[in-house]
Structure 1
C-alpha cells in the first residue's frame, strides 16, 4: 500500500517545517496532541509554540495504549474547537490516538483536519495507516488494531533536537520495536529486492546507532524510517500481536514487548524460514557486510534470535517476561487470548498452533 504521506523532513531544526506546512495548507486553527512529559518540557513547548503560529489548543491527557476514553476526548476537542490541523508530538500512543480521533471526525461527516506528526520515539506509527485502541469489555481490556488510509499522516517531521529529551530506555526499546517491524516485513513476503534492502539497512543502522555511546539519534530516526519501508511491515506478525495483548490486557509497556517477544518468535521460525533468518542474522551482526537480498547469506539462521537477544540485553532492556513482573499464571491466558484474537498470525507456527503458542509463551518467561 502506498500511503498518502505528502512529505518527510529530517535533521536538526526540522521542526520549523511544521509552520511552513501549515501555512501551505492554509491552516488557521491547530491542535497540539502530546504527552504530559513533553508538555512539561518548557524548552520544547516554547519551540513547538514558535513553530506553530496557528496553535489554538493543546491536549496532553493521553495514556499509554490509546484507551477509548482518550480517543473520545481528542475527537471532541477537534470538533468543538473547529480544528483544521493537528500536530502530534509524541510516541506511538499519542500518534495512534490522533489517527483514531481523525477517523471519528471523518465518520461524523466533518472535514478532516490535516495532520503533521513529530515523533519522539522510533516505533514507526507516524508512517502507518494503522492504530491500536484499548477497548474495555466489562472488567477486561483488549487492544484492537484498526486500519484506514484516510487517517495516515500528511507529513512527518524528524528533528534530532526534539528527541534529545526522550528517556533513554524508551528510545532504545522503541528502536527494537522498529527492528520488529522490519523483520516481520521480511518474514511476511517473498523476496522484494528493493524494499528488502531498505529493511536490512534499517536493521543494521538501528543496531549501530543504538549501540553507539552516546546513541546516535538522528541516524536512528532514519533507521526507523527504513524499517517501516517494507509494505508487509504495515501488517503485524505474531511478535507484534503478542505485544498488543501484553500491553492492552496485561499492562506491559508496549515499547519493551518486542525485546521479549521477537527473539522467541524467531527461534520458532528458524526451521521454516532459514534463508530469511540467515540474512537477518547477517544484518544484526555488525562484523558482517549488510545483506542486500534474502538468499545470499551464509550466516547460521539460528544465530538471528541469539544476536537479537544479545543486542537487547546489551542495551539494558528486559528480554524475559519475568523481568517485567509478568506472573507465570498468566502465561497460558496470554497464549489463549492471542490465539483466539489472531488465528492467522498464530498459524505461522504450523500444526497444532495453539499448543505451540503456549510453548512459545512459556519460553518467553
Structure 2
C-alpha cells in the first residue's frame, strides 16, 4: 500500500431520525446558552419552530442567509450576533445557511451547530466560499468547521424533488474530485465509493417516492460521506469552475454543479483513469462521465447552462477566470479546453 496522510477532523456527528430533539443538550455541551438561529427566507418557519424548541436558549432567528455567502450579508449578521450577545450560531438549512454560519465563525470564533436539510455536504468541511465584488473565493481553515452536526432525516422529508436531485448530484461531485485529488488516500477512496453509490441508488427511488424513509436516510448518509471526502482533500477543476460561475455570474449552486460535473469528469478522464474507473464501478456503468450524465438526465435534472440562465457570450470570460490562477488538477488547465467544456455544458452535449 502506498504511503498516505489522512487528517481526521474534530467534529461531533449525530445521525438518525428525530435527532433534532438533542439540540438543547448539544448547546449545553458546548457551554453555551444564547443561540442565534440562521435560515434562508424560505426556511424562516422552520427557524421559528426551532426557536420555540430552544425556548430561552434562542436569542433570535436571522433569516437572510444568501447563496454564495456575500460578504455584505455576513457584515449584517455579525452585527446582529454582537448586538444580541449570541454565544453560538445554529445553521438550519442547506449550503447558503451553513456558509453564513461559517462566515460568522471565521470573524468571531463562535462555535457552530449545523443542522443540514439538504445534501450539500458543506457542514462536514473546513472550507468556506465567500463572494465579494462578484468574485467568489475559498478558504480552508478549522475556524469554520462546525463543532456539531445534527443529521435528522425527518428534516429532509419535505425537500422538493428538484432540490433533492441537484443537491445529491452536487454531493457526488465532492466524492468524484476527492478520488483524483493529490491528497487522495485509501480512506477517502473508500468513503467516496460509498457516497457515490449511496446517493446514486437513493435518488431514483426518491424521484418516485419522496417520502421513502430508507432512501432519505441513504441519501443523507451519502451526503455526509461525500462531504467528509471534500473536507480532507483538495478540490480541482470542477469546483473551480462552479465557483467561477456562481460567484461571477450568480448561477445557482447545486444546479450548476449538476450540469458541469459530467463535463469536468470527461475533461479530466484521460489523466485520471483509475479514479474514473472507481466512479464507474460505484455507478455500475462502463464510462463514469456518461454514467453521471445519463443518471442526471434520467432524474429530470437540468442538463444545460443555457436553461440555468447562463449567457453564451459569457462562456469565454468564465473560461478565462477559471484558467488564470493555478490549482491542482489532473489535466492541464488550458483556456481553449475549458471553453470547449463550457460550450458542451451550455448545450448539454453528452460526453464522449
How many residue pairs end up in the alignment? 334
1:343 aligns with 2:312: no
Aligned to 1:237: 236
Aligned to 2:335: 354
Shift of 1:167: 2.2
Structure 2, unmatched stretches of 5+, are: 1-6, 347-352
Q: Which runs of 4+ in 1 moved over 6 A?
A: none
RMSD: 1.9
Whether the aligned pair in 1 keeps the contact of 2:71 and 2:132 (CA below 8 Å) is yes
Aligned to 2:195: 202
* CA distance in structure 2 between the partners assigned to 1:45 and 1:12 by the alignment: 20
Aligned to 1:158: 151
Aligned to 1:226: 225
Aligned to 2:308: 324
Aligned to 1:61: 64
* CA distance in structure 2 between the partners assigned to 1:356 and 1:231 by the alignment: 25
* CA distance in structure 1 between the partners assigned to 2:140 and 2:278 by the alignment: 30
Whether the aligned pair in 2 keeps the contact of 1:186 and 1:232 (CA below 8 Å) is no
Aligned to 1:214: 209
TM-score, length-scaled by structure 1: 0.86
Aligned to 1:36: 41
Whether the aligned pair in 1 keeps the contact of 2:180 and 2:330 (CA below 8 Å) is no
Q: What SS class does the counterpart of residue 249 from structure 1 fall into?
A: helix
Whether the aligned pair in 1 keeps the contact of 2:181 and 2:233 (CA below 8 Å) is no
Shift of 1:164: 2.2
* CA distance in structure 2 between the partners assigned to 1:226 and 1:53 by the alignment: 34
1:9 aligns with 2:14: yes
Aligned to 1:129: 126
* CA distance in structure 1 between the partners assigned to 2:56 and 2:264 by the alignment: 47
Aligned to 1:98: 101
Aligned to 1:108: none
Aligned to 1:26: 31
Structure 1, unmatched stretches of 5+, are: 106-111, 286-298
Whether the aligned pair in 1 keeps the contact of 2:195 and 2:225 (CA below 8 Å) is yes
Q: What SS class does the counterpart of residue 228 from structure 2 fall into?
A: coil
From the superposition, tell whether residues 231 and 35 of structure 1 become closer, same or farther in structure 2 (CA, over 3 Å): closer
